[in-house]
């Protein structure tokens, strides 16, 4: 499992961890039944506190993507969010698109980035 933390990112680290795992699930790199590494290992690999990774796992469990069982670890149980929040997702997308536009990217460049990201996710 390969995810990264960006210290310049304004999101809390546990959100970055959760979003990284969501990306791996969406891309098919983590499929239903896949076992996630133990919290301790992920925390050591990323250089973050174990509680941070545990919070990310709890968030993913709340969203219905993984199941955490103490003593036996965490497994991917679904590749579909249990509680879709389309409005929140659209707000997040608009914020990212606004950042790209404000960074000086043209509409064409933004569309290229979006298409490349979708292509990477659809390879599964």
CATH architecture type of domain 13-76: Orthogonal Bundle (1.10)
Angle at the Cα of 74 from the Cα atoms of 122 and 47, rounded to 5 degrees: 85
Round the average pLDDT of the chain to a whole number and report it. 91
- Region 89-116: mean pLDDT is 92
Given a cut of 70, whether residue 124 has pLDDT beyond it is: no
**pLDDT classification of 58: cutoffs 50, 70, 90:** very high
Res 2: pLDDT:
87
Say if residues 17 and 53 touch (Cβ distance below 8 Å).
yes
The CA-atom distances, in angstroms, between 90 and each of 23, 74, 86, 87, 96 are 17, 29, 6, 5, 10
Res 111: pLDDT:
95
Q: pTM for the whole thing?
A: 0.79
Res 60: pLDDT:
96
Percent of the chain at pLDDT above 90? 71
55 phi/psi in degrees, rounded to 5: -65, -40
Percent of the chain at pLDDT above 70? 98
75 phi/psi in degrees, rounded to 5: -130, 150
- Region 15-28: mean pLDDT is 93
Provide the residue ranges of all domains of the chain, joining segments of one domain with +. Answer: 13-76, 86-122
């Amino acid at each position: 499992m390969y995810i990264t933390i960006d210290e310049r990112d304004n999101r809390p680290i546990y959100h970055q961890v959760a979003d990284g795992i969501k990306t791996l699930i969406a891309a098919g790199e983590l499929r239903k039944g896949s076992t996630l590494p133990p919290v301790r290992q992920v925390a050591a690999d990323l250089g973050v506190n174990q509680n941070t990774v545990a919070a990310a796992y709890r968030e993913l469990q709340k969203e219905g993507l993984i199941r955490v069982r103490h003593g036996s670890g965490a497994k991917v149980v679904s590749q579909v969010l249990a509680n879709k929040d389309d409005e929140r997702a659209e707000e997040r997308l608009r914020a990212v698109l606004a950042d790209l536009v404000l960074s000086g990217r043209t509409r064409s460049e933004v569309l290229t980035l979006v298409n490349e990201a979708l292509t990477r996710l659809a390879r599964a």
